[in-house]
Amino acid sequence: MTPIAVSSPISCTSAVLSAIDADLLVVPWFEGEGPGAVPELDRSTSGEVARALASKEFAARPYDLFITSVTDRGWRPRRVALIGAGRPAAFGSDLARKVAAAVGLNARQRWIERVAFVVRPDAAGATPLNELAQAVAEGLTLSEFDAGTYKTDDPPPAKAPAWTVAVSAVTDDGFGRVNDAVARGRLLGECSNLARELANEPGNTLTPREFARRSEAMAIEGGISVEILDEEQIARLGMGLLLGVARGSSEPPRVMVFRHNPPGAPAGPVLGLVGKGITFDTGGISIKAAEGMEKMKDDMAGGAAVACAMRAIGLLKAPIRVVGVVPATENMPGSRALKPGDVLKSASGKTVEVINTDAEGRLVLGDALWYARQRGATHLIDIATLTGACVVALGKITSGIFGTPDAWVEHVRRVADRAGDRVWPLPLFEEYRDQLKSDIADLMNTGGRPASSITAAMFLKEFTGGLPWAHLDIAGTAWAEEAKPYLPKGPSGVGVRALAELAFTADAWPRS
Protein backbone atom coordinates (compact mmCIF):
# COMPACT_ATOMS: atom_id res chain seq x y z
CA MET A 1 0.00 0.00 0.00
CA THR A 2 1.21 3.50 -0.77
CA PRO A 3 2.22 5.58 2.24
CA ILE A 4 -0.39 8.07 3.31
CA ALA A 5 0.28 11.65 4.35
CA VAL A 6 -0.72 11.97 7.99
CA SER A 7 0.58 14.24 10.72
CA SER A 8 2.15 11.54 12.86
CA PRO A 9 1.61 7.87 12.13
CA ILE A 10 0.44 5.38 14.72
CA SER A 11 3.11 2.72 15.07
CA CYS A 12 2.35 -0.98 15.06
CA THR A 13 4.12 -3.72 16.88
CA SER A 14 3.84 -7.46 17.21
CA ALA A 15 6.22 -7.57 20.17
CA VAL A 16 5.31 -9.45 23.36
CA LEU A 17 3.74 -7.22 26.00
CA SER A 18 6.86 -7.00 28.14
CA ALA A 19 8.88 -5.61 25.22
CA ILE A 20 6.48 -2.85 24.12
CA ASP A 21 7.98 0.58 24.49
CA ALA A 22 5.27 2.67 26.15
CA ASP A 23 4.47 4.57 29.31
CA LEU A 24 1.01 3.03 29.47
CA LEU A 25 0.07 -0.37 28.09
CA VAL A 26 -3.68 -0.64 27.60
CA VAL A 27 -5.37 -4.03 27.50
CA PRO A 28 -9.09 -4.50 26.81
CA TRP A 29 -10.73 -6.78 29.35
CA PHE A 30 -14.05 -8.62 29.14
CA GLU A 31 -16.65 -9.13 31.83
CA GLY A 32 -16.21 -12.49 33.50
CA GLU A 33 -12.55 -12.88 32.59
CA GLY A 34 -10.18 -13.91 35.37
CA PRO A 35 -6.52 -12.92 35.74
CA GLY A 36 -5.64 -15.92 33.57
CA ALA A 37 -7.00 -14.21 30.43
CA VAL A 38 -3.66 -12.43 30.03
CA PRO A 39 -1.55 -14.10 32.75
CA GLU A 40 1.64 -12.11 32.22
CA LEU A 41 -0.17 -8.91 33.26
CA ASP A 42 -0.96 -10.28 36.67
CA ARG A 43 2.59 -11.54 37.12
CA SER A 44 4.19 -8.27 36.04
CA THR A 45 2.04 -6.25 38.47
CA SER A 46 2.67 -8.54 41.48
CA GLY A 47 -0.91 -9.76 41.46
CA GLU A 48 -2.63 -6.36 41.23
CA VAL A 49 -4.81 -7.55 38.34
CA ALA A 50 -6.13 -10.53 40.28
CA ARG A 51 -6.72 -8.32 43.31
CA ALA A 52 -8.67 -5.68 41.36
CA LEU A 53 -10.82 -8.35 39.75
CA ALA A 54 -11.49 -10.19 43.01
CA SER A 55 -12.39 -7.02 44.92
CA LYS A 56 -14.62 -5.84 42.02
CA GLU A 57 -12.65 -2.61 41.88
CA PHE A 58 -12.50 -3.41 38.19
CA ALA A 59 -15.57 -5.10 36.69
CA ALA A 60 -14.72 -4.73 32.97
CA ARG A 61 -17.94 -2.95 32.13
CA PRO A 62 -17.48 -0.77 29.02
CA TYR A 63 -15.12 2.15 29.75
CA ASP A 64 -14.21 0.96 33.29
CA LEU A 65 -10.55 1.77 33.74
CA PHE A 66 -7.99 0.29 36.11
CA ILE A 67 -4.41 1.54 36.08
CA THR A 68 -1.58 0.01 38.05
CA SER A 69 2.22 0.05 38.04
CA VAL A 70 4.38 -2.65 36.55
CA THR A 71 6.69 -4.05 39.21
CA ASP A 72 8.62 -6.48 37.02
CA ARG A 73 11.92 -4.74 36.24
CA GLY A 74 12.23 -6.80 33.07
CA TRP A 75 9.21 -5.07 31.55
CA ARG A 76 9.50 -1.99 29.38
CA PRO A 77 5.96 -0.59 29.93
CA ARG A 78 5.90 1.32 33.23
CA ARG A 79 2.18 1.04 33.84
CA VAL A 80 -0.69 -1.06 32.56
CA ALA A 81 -4.33 -0.13 32.17
CA LEU A 82 -7.22 -2.55 31.90
CA ILE A 83 -10.07 -1.02 29.93
CA GLY A 84 -13.51 -2.58 30.27
CA ALA A 85 -14.80 -4.05 27.01
CA GLY A 86 -18.07 -5.45 28.32
CA ARG A 87 -19.46 -8.83 27.36
CA PRO A 88 -17.50 -10.63 24.63
CA ALA A 89 -20.66 -11.23 22.55
CA ALA A 90 -21.38 -7.48 22.35
CA PHE A 91 -17.82 -6.56 21.37
CA GLY A 92 -16.96 -5.54 17.83
CA SER A 93 -15.44 -2.66 15.92
CA ASP A 94 -18.03 -0.17 17.24
CA LEU A 95 -17.15 -0.75 20.89
CA ALA A 96 -13.45 -1.13 20.08
CA ARG A 97 -13.50 2.35 18.52
CA LYS A 98 -15.33 3.87 21.49
CA VAL A 99 -13.17 2.13 24.08
CA ALA A 100 -10.02 3.30 22.29
CA ALA A 101 -11.37 6.87 22.18
CA ALA A 102 -12.18 6.70 25.91
CA VAL A 103 -8.65 5.47 26.66
CA GLY A 104 -7.20 8.22 24.51
CA LEU A 105 -9.18 10.96 26.27
CA ASN A 106 -8.14 9.55 29.62
CA ALA A 107 -4.48 9.29 28.69
CA ARG A 108 -4.50 12.89 27.52
CA GLN A 109 -5.98 14.04 30.82
CA ARG A 110 -3.11 12.26 32.60
CA TRP A 111 -0.50 13.80 30.31
CA ILE A 112 0.80 10.37 29.32
CA GLU A 113 3.31 10.60 26.50
CA ARG A 114 3.36 7.12 24.95
CA VAL A 115 0.32 4.84 24.91
CA ALA A 116 0.18 1.32 23.46
CA PHE A 117 -3.24 -0.26 22.88
CA VAL A 118 -3.26 -4.03 22.69
CA VAL A 119 -5.59 -5.56 20.13
CA ARG A 120 -6.22 -9.07 21.44
CA PRO A 121 -6.56 -11.56 18.58
CA ASP A 122 -8.40 -13.90 20.98
CA ALA A 123 -11.02 -11.18 21.50
CA ALA A 124 -11.76 -10.47 17.86
CA GLY A 125 -14.67 -12.92 17.74
CA ALA A 126 -16.45 -12.54 14.41
CA THR A 127 -14.73 -9.23 13.58
CA PRO A 128 -11.67 -9.50 11.32
CA LEU A 129 -8.55 -8.47 13.21
CA ASN A 130 -7.69 -5.71 10.73
CA GLU A 131 -11.17 -4.19 11.10
CA LEU A 132 -10.69 -4.14 14.85
CA ALA A 133 -7.25 -2.56 14.53
CA GLN A 134 -8.62 0.11 12.17
CA ALA A 135 -11.40 0.93 14.62
CA VAL A 136 -8.88 1.24 17.46
CA ALA A 137 -6.73 3.60 15.38
CA GLU A 138 -9.83 5.67 14.58
CA GLY A 139 -10.81 5.85 18.23
CA LEU A 140 -7.34 6.87 19.43
CA THR A 141 -7.20 9.55 16.74
CA LEU A 142 -10.69 10.85 17.55
CA SER A 143 -9.53 11.44 21.12
CA GLU A 144 -7.06 14.06 19.85
CA PHE A 145 -9.79 16.54 18.93
CA ASP A 146 -9.81 19.69 21.01
CA ALA A 147 -12.83 22.03 20.92
CA GLY A 148 -11.26 24.97 22.78
CA THR A 149 -9.89 26.71 19.69
CA TYR A 150 -10.36 30.23 21.00
CA LYS A 151 -9.37 29.79 24.65
CA THR A 152 -6.60 32.19 25.65
CA ASP A 153 -6.34 31.90 29.43
CA ASP A 154 -6.60 28.14 30.07
CA PRO A 155 -3.38 26.16 30.16
CA PRO A 156 -2.92 24.57 26.73
CA PRO A 157 -4.33 21.03 26.48
CA ALA A 158 -1.95 18.09 26.67
CA LYS A 159 -0.32 17.19 23.41
CA ALA A 160 -1.65 13.95 21.94
CA PRO A 161 0.35 10.93 23.12
CA ALA A 162 2.42 8.91 20.67
CA TRP A 163 0.19 5.92 19.92
CA THR A 164 1.10 2.32 19.29
CA VAL A 165 -1.24 -0.46 18.30
CA ALA A 166 0.05 -3.82 19.48
CA VAL A 167 -1.02 -7.19 18.07
CA SER A 168 0.72 -10.35 19.06
CA ALA A 169 0.51 -13.85 17.69
CA VAL A 170 -0.19 -12.91 14.07
CA THR A 171 1.48 -14.13 10.90
CA ASP A 172 3.67 -11.71 8.91
CA ASP A 173 0.83 -11.36 6.38
CA GLY A 174 -1.65 -10.71 9.13
CA PHE A 175 0.66 -8.11 10.65
CA GLY A 176 0.98 -6.36 7.28
CA ARG A 177 -2.79 -6.14 7.01
CA VAL A 178 -3.05 -4.78 10.53
CA ASN A 179 -0.42 -2.16 9.68
CA ASP A 180 -2.41 -0.99 6.65
CA ALA A 181 -5.62 -1.00 8.65
CA VAL A 182 -4.06 1.16 11.35
CA ALA A 183 -2.84 3.68 8.76
CA ARG A 184 -6.33 3.74 7.25
CA GLY A 185 -7.93 4.25 10.64
CA ARG A 186 -5.48 7.03 11.47
CA LEU A 187 -6.35 8.84 8.29
CA LEU A 188 -10.10 8.44 8.64
CA GLY A 189 -9.90 9.61 12.26
CA GLU A 190 -7.95 12.68 11.20
CA CYS A 191 -10.45 13.51 8.46
CA SER A 192 -13.25 13.18 11.02
CA ASN A 193 -11.39 15.59 13.29
CA LEU A 194 -11.01 18.10 10.45
CA ALA A 195 -14.78 17.98 9.93
CA ARG A 196 -15.26 18.53 13.66
CA GLU A 197 -12.99 21.58 13.50
CA LEU A 198 -15.08 23.06 10.70
CA ALA A 199 -18.38 22.35 12.49
CA ASN A 200 -17.01 23.87 15.71
CA GLU A 201 -16.05 27.11 13.98
CA PRO A 202 -18.45 29.98 14.76
CA GLY A 203 -20.61 31.62 12.13
CA ASN A 204 -18.59 34.84 12.16
CA THR A 205 -15.36 33.12 11.18
CA LEU A 206 -16.76 30.37 8.98
CA THR A 207 -18.70 32.32 6.39
CA PRO A 208 -19.65 30.52 3.16
CA ARG A 209 -16.54 31.92 1.45
CA GLU A 210 -14.26 30.87 4.30
CA PHE A 211 -15.89 27.44 4.48
CA ALA A 212 -15.21 27.02 0.77
CA ARG A 213 -11.63 28.26 1.08
CA ARG A 214 -10.77 25.86 3.91
CA SER A 215 -12.55 22.92 2.35
CA GLU A 216 -10.78 23.51 -0.93
CA ALA A 217 -7.37 23.54 0.76
CA MET A 218 -8.10 20.30 2.60
CA ALA A 219 -9.44 18.49 -0.43
CA ILE A 220 -6.59 19.62 -2.68
CA GLU A 221 -4.10 18.14 -0.19
CA GLY A 222 -5.95 14.88 -0.75
CA GLY A 223 -5.43 15.08 -4.50
CA ILE A 224 -9.06 16.03 -5.14
CA SER A 225 -9.84 18.62 -7.80
CA VAL A 226 -12.00 21.45 -6.53
CA GLU A 227 -14.08 24.18 -8.15
CA ILE A 228 -15.73 26.90 -6.11
CA LEU A 229 -18.75 28.41 -7.86
CA ASP A 230 -19.47 32.04 -6.94
CA GLU A 231 -22.85 33.77 -6.87
CA GLU A 232 -22.70 34.63 -10.58
CA GLN A 233 -21.96 31.08 -11.65
CA ILE A 234 -24.69 29.87 -9.29
CA ALA A 235 -27.13 32.29 -10.93
CA ARG A 236 -26.10 31.16 -14.42
CA LEU A 237 -26.88 27.56 -13.43
CA GLY A 238 -30.33 28.73 -12.33
CA MET A 239 -30.05 27.53 -8.74
CA GLY A 240 -33.00 29.61 -7.57
CA LEU A 241 -33.53 27.62 -4.37
CA LEU A 242 -29.99 28.26 -3.13
CA LEU A 243 -30.11 31.90 -4.23
CA GLY A 244 -33.45 32.30 -2.48
CA VAL A 245 -31.99 31.18 0.84
CA ALA A 246 -28.89 33.34 0.33
CA ARG A 247 -30.93 36.51 -0.37
CA GLY A 248 -31.20 37.53 3.27
CA SER A 249 -27.47 37.50 3.87
CA SER A 250 -24.78 40.01 2.96
CA GLU A 251 -22.35 37.08 2.67
CA PRO A 252 -22.46 35.65 -0.86
CA PRO A 253 -23.19 31.92 -1.30
CA ARG A 254 -20.77 29.39 -2.73
CA VAL A 255 -21.06 25.92 -4.21
CA MET A 256 -18.08 23.65 -3.71
CA VAL A 257 -17.58 20.97 -6.32
CA PHE A 258 -15.12 18.19 -5.53
CA ARG A 259 -13.97 15.57 -8.02
CA HIS A 260 -12.06 12.33 -7.52
CA ASN A 261 -11.18 10.85 -10.91
CA PRO A 262 -8.54 8.19 -10.32
CA PRO A 263 -6.62 7.15 -13.44
CA GLY A 264 -8.02 3.97 -14.92
CA ALA A 265 -11.28 4.13 -12.97
CA PRO A 266 -14.35 2.87 -14.82
CA ALA A 267 -16.70 5.51 -16.29
CA GLY A 268 -19.36 4.38 -13.83
CA PRO A 269 -20.63 4.08 -11.23
CA VAL A 270 -20.05 7.61 -9.96
CA LEU A 271 -20.73 8.26 -6.30
CA GLY A 272 -22.38 11.64 -5.72
CA LEU A 273 -21.99 13.11 -2.22
CA VAL A 274 -24.05 16.16 -1.32
CA GLY A 275 -23.78 17.98 2.03
CA LYS A 276 -25.83 20.77 3.58
CA GLY A 277 -23.60 23.78 4.12
CA ILE A 278 -25.63 26.37 6.05
CA THR A 279 -22.86 28.22 7.91
CA PHE A 280 -25.47 29.73 10.22
CA ASP A 281 -29.19 29.06 10.38
CA THR A 282 -31.19 31.81 12.09
CA GLY A 283 -34.33 30.46 10.45
CA GLY A 284 -34.58 33.58 8.29
CA ILE A 285 -37.85 35.54 8.44
CA SER A 286 -39.42 32.46 10.10
CA ILE A 287 -36.84 33.18 12.78
CA LYS A 288 -35.85 30.65 15.43
CA ALA A 289 -36.16 31.21 19.19
CA ALA A 290 -33.08 32.73 20.84
CA GLU A 291 -32.51 29.83 23.20
CA GLY A 292 -30.04 27.39 21.69
CA MET A 293 -29.76 29.32 18.43
CA GLU A 294 -25.98 29.46 18.85
CA LYS A 295 -25.91 25.75 18.02
CA MET A 296 -27.00 26.53 14.50
CA LYS A 297 -23.37 27.27 13.63
CA ASP A 298 -23.05 23.53 13.01
CA ASP A 299 -25.71 23.53 10.29
CA MET A 300 -22.88 22.93 7.83
CA ALA A 301 -21.78 19.66 9.47
CA GLY A 302 -23.10 17.66 6.49
CA GLY A 303 -21.11 19.82 4.10
CA ALA A 304 -18.00 19.43 6.25
CA ALA A 305 -18.51 15.66 6.22
CA VAL A 306 -18.58 15.68 2.43
CA ALA A 307 -15.49 17.88 2.11
CA CYS A 308 -13.51 15.79 4.61
CA ALA A 309 -14.72 12.49 3.16
CA MET A 310 -13.50 13.70 -0.25
CA ARG A 311 -10.09 14.34 1.28
CA ALA A 312 -10.05 10.81 2.71
CA ILE A 313 -11.25 9.34 -0.58
CA GLY A 314 -8.37 11.05 -2.37
CA LEU A 315 -5.70 10.10 0.16
CA LEU A 316 -6.90 6.50 0.33
CA LYS A 317 -7.13 6.33 -3.47
CA ALA A 318 -10.67 5.02 -3.79
CA PRO A 319 -10.99 3.00 -7.01
CA ILE A 320 -14.09 4.78 -8.39
CA ARG A 321 -15.11 8.24 -9.51
CA VAL A 322 -16.68 10.44 -6.87
CA VAL A 323 -18.24 13.89 -7.14
CA GLY A 324 -19.00 16.00 -4.08
CA VAL A 325 -21.29 19.04 -4.02
CA VAL A 326 -21.65 21.38 -1.03
CA PRO A 327 -24.00 24.38 -1.30
CA ALA A 328 -22.92 26.95 1.29
CA THR A 329 -24.85 29.98 2.51
CA GLU A 330 -26.13 31.67 5.63
CA ASN A 331 -29.87 31.68 6.38
CA MET A 332 -30.56 35.22 7.61
CA PRO A 333 -33.48 37.60 7.96
CA GLY A 334 -33.07 40.96 6.27
CA SER A 335 -34.88 43.41 4.07
CA ARG A 336 -34.14 41.36 0.99
CA ALA A 337 -34.71 38.00 2.65
CA LEU A 338 -36.96 35.26 1.40
CA LYS A 339 -40.52 35.61 2.74
CA PRO A 340 -43.13 32.97 3.51
CA GLY A 341 -45.27 32.59 0.41
CA ASP A 342 -42.46 33.43 -2.00
CA VAL A 343 -42.15 31.10 -4.96
CA LEU A 344 -38.70 30.00 -6.15
CA LYS A 345 -37.66 28.21 -9.30
CA SER A 346 -35.13 25.42 -8.86
CA ALA A 347 -32.35 24.58 -11.30
CA SER A 348 -34.25 21.42 -12.20
CA GLY A 349 -37.22 23.57 -13.26
CA LYS A 350 -39.54 22.62 -10.40
CA THR A 351 -41.16 25.53 -8.58
CA VAL A 352 -41.37 25.73 -4.78
CA GLU A 353 -43.66 27.75 -2.56
CA VAL A 354 -41.70 28.66 0.58
CA ILE A 355 -44.02 28.19 3.56
CA ASN A 356 -41.34 28.41 6.21
CA THR A 357 -37.96 30.03 5.59
CA ASP A 358 -36.47 27.86 8.35
CA ALA A 359 -36.88 24.82 6.09
CA GLU A 360 -33.89 26.08 4.10
CA GLY A 361 -31.75 22.94 4.08
CA ARG A 362 -34.00 21.07 1.68
CA LEU A 363 -33.99 24.10 -0.64
CA VAL A 364 -30.22 24.30 -1.01
CA LEU A 365 -29.97 20.52 -1.21
CA GLY A 366 -32.59 20.34 -3.96
CA ASP A 367 -30.40 22.39 -6.27
CA ALA A 368 -27.24 20.57 -5.15
CA LEU A 369 -28.71 17.12 -5.81
CA TRP A 370 -29.69 18.27 -9.27
CA TYR A 371 -26.18 19.58 -9.84
CA ALA A 372 -24.53 16.34 -8.67
CA ARG A 373 -26.57 14.58 -11.37
CA GLN A 374 -25.43 17.15 -13.95
CA ARG A 375 -21.87 16.30 -12.98
CA GLY A 376 -22.41 12.61 -13.65
CA ALA A 377 -23.39 11.06 -10.33
CA THR A 378 -25.11 7.69 -10.74
CA HIS A 379 -25.61 6.95 -7.02
CA LEU A 380 -26.50 9.74 -4.61
CA ILE A 381 -26.02 10.26 -0.89
CA ASP A 382 -26.88 13.47 0.88
CA ILE A 383 -26.06 14.32 4.47
CA ALA A 384 -27.66 17.15 6.39
CA THR A 385 -28.59 18.54 9.81
CA LEU A 386 -32.06 18.67 8.32
CA THR A 387 -34.86 18.35 10.86
CA GLY A 388 -35.45 18.77 14.58
CA ALA A 389 -38.05 16.04 14.21
CA CYS A 390 -35.29 13.51 13.50
CA VAL A 391 -33.82 14.28 16.92
CA VAL A 392 -37.25 13.61 18.42
CA ALA A 393 -37.55 10.30 16.54
CA LEU A 394 -34.05 8.85 16.99
CA GLY A 395 -32.37 10.96 19.64
CA LYS A 396 -28.72 11.91 19.66
CA ILE A 397 -27.12 8.53 19.00
CA THR A 398 -28.61 7.47 15.67
CA SER A 399 -28.91 9.33 12.38
CA GLY A 400 -31.97 8.86 10.19
CA ILE A 401 -31.65 7.25 6.78
CA PHE A 402 -34.22 7.60 4.00
CA GLY A 403 -34.08 6.80 0.31
CA THR A 404 -34.66 4.48 -2.56
CA PRO A 405 -34.30 1.68 -3.63
CA ASP A 406 -34.29 -0.35 -0.44
CA ALA A 407 -31.19 -2.27 -1.55
CA TRP A 408 -29.17 0.96 -1.80
CA VAL A 409 -30.44 2.25 1.55
CA GLU A 410 -29.64 -1.07 3.20
CA HIS A 411 -26.15 -1.10 1.69
CA VAL A 412 -25.45 2.42 2.95
CA ARG A 413 -26.85 1.49 6.35
CA ARG A 414 -24.45 -1.43 6.70
CA VAL A 415 -21.40 0.49 5.58
CA ALA A 416 -22.26 3.36 7.93
CA ASP A 417 -22.78 0.94 10.79
CA ARG A 418 -19.37 -0.63 10.28
CA ALA A 419 -17.79 2.83 10.13
CA GLY A 420 -19.28 3.72 13.52
CA ASP A 421 -21.85 6.15 12.05
CA ARG A 422 -25.01 4.38 13.11
CA VAL A 423 -28.15 5.11 11.05
CA TRP A 424 -31.69 3.75 11.10
CA PRO A 425 -34.34 3.82 8.34
CA LEU A 426 -37.62 5.71 8.23
CA PRO A 427 -40.12 5.09 5.40
CA LEU A 428 -40.83 7.16 2.29
CA PHE A 429 -44.32 5.94 1.40
CA GLU A 430 -45.81 7.73 -1.62
CA GLU A 431 -48.78 8.99 0.43
CA TYR A 432 -46.50 11.37 2.33
CA ARG A 433 -45.99 13.31 -0.90
CA ASP A 434 -49.53 14.75 -0.55
CA GLN A 435 -48.37 16.85 2.40
CA LEU A 436 -46.12 18.84 0.06
CA LYS A 437 -48.85 19.81 -2.47
CA SER A 438 -48.98 23.54 -3.11
CA ASP A 439 -51.89 25.53 -4.55
CA ILE A 440 -49.60 27.84 -6.48
CA ALA A 441 -46.42 25.86 -7.29
CA ASP A 442 -45.16 22.31 -7.83
CA LEU A 443 -44.22 21.83 -4.18
CA MET A 444 -44.29 23.46 -0.77
CA ASN A 445 -41.10 23.40 1.27
CA THR A 446 -42.81 22.10 4.41
CA GLY A 447 -45.47 19.49 5.00
CA GLY A 448 -46.71 20.42 8.46
CA ARG A 449 -45.79 18.80 11.76
CA PRO A 450 -46.67 15.14 11.16
CA ALA A 451 -43.69 13.08 9.97
CA SER A 452 -41.73 16.20 9.17
CA SER A 453 -38.40 14.37 8.82
CA ILE A 454 -40.05 12.15 6.24
CA THR A 455 -41.67 14.98 4.29
CA ALA A 456 -38.30 16.77 4.26
CA ALA A 457 -36.82 13.65 2.67
CA MET A 458 -39.77 13.42 0.26
CA PHE A 459 -38.97 16.97 -0.82
CA LEU A 460 -35.36 16.00 -1.56
CA LYS A 461 -36.50 12.94 -3.50
CA GLU A 462 -38.10 15.28 -6.06
CA PHE A 463 -34.60 16.35 -7.09
CA THR A 464 -32.91 12.95 -7.37
CA GLY A 465 -34.12 12.15 -10.89
CA GLY A 466 -34.94 8.58 -9.89
CA LEU A 467 -31.30 7.66 -9.17
CA PRO A 468 -30.45 5.40 -6.24
CA TRP A 469 -30.35 7.89 -3.39
CA ALA A 470 -29.96 7.84 0.38
CA HIS A 471 -30.47 10.81 2.65
CA LEU A 472 -28.80 10.92 6.09
CA ASP A 473 -30.41 13.25 8.63
CA ILE A 474 -27.68 14.05 11.18
CA ALA A 475 -29.56 16.78 13.10
CA GLY A 476 -29.23 14.75 16.31
CA THR A 477 -25.80 13.22 15.83
CA ALA A 478 -23.64 16.08 14.52
CA TRP A 479 -23.25 17.68 17.93
CA ALA A 480 -22.92 16.03 21.36
CA GLU A 481 -24.78 18.00 24.01
CA GLU A 482 -23.48 15.83 26.84
CA ALA A 483 -20.03 14.34 27.19
CA LYS A 484 -19.76 10.55 26.87
CA PRO A 485 -16.69 8.58 27.96
CA TYR A 486 -15.74 8.29 24.27
CA LEU A 487 -17.02 11.63 22.95
CA PRO A 488 -16.66 15.06 24.57
CA LYS A 489 -19.29 17.77 24.19
CA GLY A 490 -19.19 19.32 20.76
CA PRO A 491 -18.99 18.31 17.13
CA SER A 492 -18.84 14.58 16.40
CA GLY A 493 -17.59 14.43 12.81
CA VAL A 494 -20.47 12.09 11.98
CA GLY A 495 -20.59 10.78 8.43
CA VAL A 496 -17.01 11.30 7.29
CA ARG A 497 -15.99 7.68 7.71
CA ALA A 498 -19.25 6.26 6.34
CA LEU A 499 -19.06 8.39 3.19
CA ALA A 500 -15.41 7.61 2.60
CA GLU A 501 -15.83 3.86 3.14
CA LEU A 502 -18.75 3.80 0.70
CA ALA A 503 -16.37 4.67 -2.11
CA PHE A 504 -14.65 1.30 -1.54
CA THR A 505 -17.78 -0.84 -1.78
CA ALA A 506 -18.95 -0.25 -5.36
CA ASP A 507 -18.82 -3.98 -6.15
CA ALA A 508 -21.79 -4.42 -3.84
CA TRP A 509 -23.92 -1.54 -5.15
CA PRO A 510 -27.27 -2.14 -6.81
CA ARG A 511 -27.13 -0.91 -10.43
CA SER A 512 -29.80 1.45 -11.70
Interface residues with ligand BES (CB under 6 A) are 281, 299, 356, 358-361, 385-389, 391, 446, 452, 475
CB of 361 to ligand BES, least distance (A): 4
User: What are the phi and psi torsion angles at 370 (to 5°)?
Assistant: -60, -45
Provide the residue type at 104 as one letter. G
Active-site annotation holder among 114, 186, 362, 497: 362
User: How many other CB atoms sit within 10 Å of the CB of residue 88?
Assistant: 13
Q: Which of 281, 15, 329 is nearest to 167 (CA)?
A: 15
- Is 288 annotated in the active site? yes
Contact between 444 and 468 (Cβ < 8 Å): no
281 near Zn ion (CB under 5 A): yes
Active-site annotation holder among 43, 79, 213, 288: 288
- Is 196 annotated in the active site? no
Give the integer Cα–Cα distance in Å for 163 and 137: 9
Residue number with CB closer to ligand BES (217 or 392)? 392
CB of 262 to ligand BES, least distance (A): 34
Q: Where are the alpha helices (DSSP H) in 151-263?
A: 172-200, 208-221, 231-236, 240-246
Q: With contacts defined by CB under 5 A, how many residues of the chain interact with Zn ion?
A: 4
Q: Which of 104, 100, 162, 108 is nearest to 132 (CA)?
A: 100
Residue number with CB closer to Zn ion (189 or 303)? 303
Provide the residue type at 44 as one letter. S
Partners of residue 114 on adjacent β-strands: 162
240 near Zn ion (CB under 5 A): no
Residue number with CB closer to ligand BES (254 or 276)? 276
CB of 400 to ligand BES, least distance (A): 12
Q: Which of 32, 36, 99, 42 is nearest to 68 (CA)?
A: 42
Q: Which of 33, 10, 125, 43 is nearest to 83 (CA)?
A: 33
Question: Which of 42, 48, 146, 281 is in the footprint of Mn ion by CB under 5 A?
Answer: 281
User: What are the phi and psi torsion angles at 328 (to 5°)?
Assistant: -125, 130
361 near Zn ion (CB under 5 A): yes
Helix, strand or coil for residue 323?
Answer: strand
CB of 354 to Zn ion, least distance (A): 14
CB of 402 to Mn ion, least distance (A): 18
Residue number with CB closer to ligand BES (112 or 243)? 243
Residue 389 interaction partner, one of ligand BES, Zn ion, Mn ion, none, beta carbon < 5-8 Å per kind: ligand BES
299 near Zn ion (CB under 5 A): yes
298 near Mn ion (CB under 5 A): no
Residues recognised as catalytic:
288, 362
Give residues in contact with Mn ion (CB under 5 A). 281, 358, 360
